[in-house]
Structure 1
Amino acid sequence: MPRQMKFVASLMAGPTCHHYAMWRHPETENRFLDPAFWETLARTLEVGRFDGLFFADTLSFYNETIMARGGQISLLDPIPLVAIMARATSRIGLGVTISTSFQEPHSVARLLSSLDVLSGGRIAWNIVTSANGLAAQKLDKDSRLAFDHAEELLKISHDMWKGWADDALVMDKETGDFLGEGKVRRTEIAGKFIGARGMFTVPPSPQRHPVIIQAGSSPQGRDFAASYAELVFTLQHSLPDMREFYGDMKDRVAKAGRKPDDCAILVSVDAIVGETEAIAREKQAYINELVDTRLSIALLSARTGIDLSGYPTDKPISHIPEATNSRDRFNVIFQETKFRNLTLGEAAKHFVTSELSPQIVGTPESVADELQELFENKGCDGFIVTPTEMPGSFEAFTRSVVPILQKRGVFRKEYPGSTLRETIKA
């Protein structure tokens, strides 16, 4: 079978995903507090044979401007939403973001494993190493410590998940044997940061344990992903950038003792589809013009760790001094804007349209062409698809672009099995 691309939908339990004007679009329903909305969306993506969906998450508001202007904020915990969507579907994978900065290993492992069992083996864990709060700030002073902490938590979770034998659950009414003797072992780990002692209570799911997702861009993040991630989510701006990241990650995966295909690289794209090229370009211009300038500066400040409110918005971004504590994040934003010599105002506005991810704009055929070109030129193994309106972006993509890619043989027509791991490995 020829190599086939993967699709994962990026979601957030609030007004925006990557495009920060999404909630302002006239056709966006803004029903993010309605369980039925999420059920219908999950079914739509499953009809489109998406590998999965995942929820990005924030634990608090970055600042008052972002809160007031409807920036990237989570109004609900995504865990209950994933449980709701699991009940409405049977094949699509379901990912949740949980920070390693706050949770104890047993709590994380138990929650994810329970969801994985109840969904029939379709859960993924998007691991993030820092978030708001003192605990995360202490770890984030040394990014290596943050990843060391995350690695300990993940290793302990894996030890718990592997503690049950496949045939441990006997439930023999005649003999009275509920669990097989010696079939569940204890976890005994005392790490530098955290540890665990005792027997894990959740039986394994059909895929044994959740799929691991990670979005590493720093050297430490890339090494962590190379060792543990099965899906890597990255923001890149052009095919050369994608190819560089793709090649680097595949090399790191091999050096970590894994097969390169054990870790799929997915790049983020905003797909804007129109009946004609002109209509698609009009749609793009319309949604991009809805971006709020105050929100743009506030969000760029939050993401870089640099207070940009005092800098003139009509000067090039290259005039802004480097901030050593946010070098990795600043580089991601700086990469394209320095090439185009954008002003701070232009860079901020451009950033919040899609966080500098490519906007793939055109007819269904031309969008499919561009995705296929990026995929076949080893820019990625697939795509994180982000919406510009909800749920219309995903409805248009699944109805018009997916059938073209299926006809060309570069995307599946049916799910290969019942679990998420079966889907991403096919």
Structure 2
Amino acid sequence: MKPTPKTFHVKSFGCQMNVYDGERMGELMAAQGLTATDDANAADLVVLNTCHIREKATEKVYSDIGRLRKHGRTPMIAVAGCVAQAEGAEIVRRAKVDVVVGPQSYHNLPDLVGKAVRGESALDTDMPAISKFGALPSRRKVSPSAFLTVQEGCDKFCTYCVVPYTRGAEVSRPFDAIVDEAKALVDAGARELTLLGQNVNAWDDAEGRGLHGLIAALDGIEGLARIRYTTSHPNDMREGLIRAHAEVGKLMPYLHLPVQSGSDRILKAMNRSHSRDSYLRLLDRVRAARPDIALSGDFIVGFPGETEADFEDTLTLIAQVGYAQAYSFKYSPRPGTPAAEMTDGFVPAEVMDERLQRLQAAIARDQAAFNAATAGRSCDVLIERTGKLPGQMLGKSPWLQSVHLITDAQVGDMVEVEIVRADPNSLAGIERIRAAA
């Protein structure tokens, strides 16, 4: 028998969906009477909510476990998320943790902790179809900007990606359940909702409403001011969703649409199922619907077989699109994916490093240009938290830029702001007219 934990700490790695899952696991433990603490070293139960997308993710888990057990401490440790799903039994064998739970089974976390207290095996990596949401408690802690998972899993099987194996097939949550949770979040204080999914624009239901139909329903919720969604796949960008960017006032002018490479040859090797040209034509349609939209993307450099010419194709695509922001990574093989077996054409680490630097410089150039173009404009800013200076508050523009200003507005207020300066990673503004809360 082990002592029943009284305090807990959740540490989440990786994507926004992991952040959402971490929040929900925290709510599960709070509903059991445990008290949250920000100090992992003081918690009786530490939940490591892991991500398996990048290289060395597993080793980071073991490193964290080692740090938690320093100085003779023996907290109860639960490993959750995608590393748990991929390597659950090995984690139990190697690290002797108390609980291992996959991302589709974390609603069972309280029961698993109970088993661990009793000295029983506490491993659950089953992948049922979205049953967990009905077992989760009501949301307890809600920020002005809240996440709402609407879809999970992926059927695309990009050759580099482990998500289909750790999150399972694409599954959409029921329409009514999403709308009910959205209303509850707004009632609890959320003014902006970000709809989450591995391929969020693949969301659909038996009535064929598609993500655009779901967004139209959420648009009618009184008190909700903003709607966002991420992450999208180019192949699921339907005409109705493109029109929604022109027709739904609450849908923010921001689209994260990963392309990964500008080379058709590499896109084919990645099994991305879209071409450079089809991606660019899709962006033309989006911009025709919403001319002021900010575009974001993901890029992988050094995919097996990538030549300098392939990489130059990526740079020219970036220059053609003009991203407001983007995320870039060096390729790292994930065990069990087809790309991990592509040993021919391996790109040396020093070449990857040099290409990543050039790519990130191009992205930074375009981000700075996008931010500079915002200077002198006025826009609504949703205040999300306090800043470091007296009277300073921080929030987001419609284009997902961080904005700081001196104001007596409170967290959750929407204020009209004139942007007076564009810095590399944020905007400075002055308040104009306070919008009604």
- Which structure features the higher share of strand residues? 2
TM-score (norm 1): 0.37
Query: 1 or 2 for the larger relative contact order (CA 8 Å, sep ≥6)?
Result: 1
- Which structure features the higher share of helix residues? 1
TM-score (norm 2): 0.37
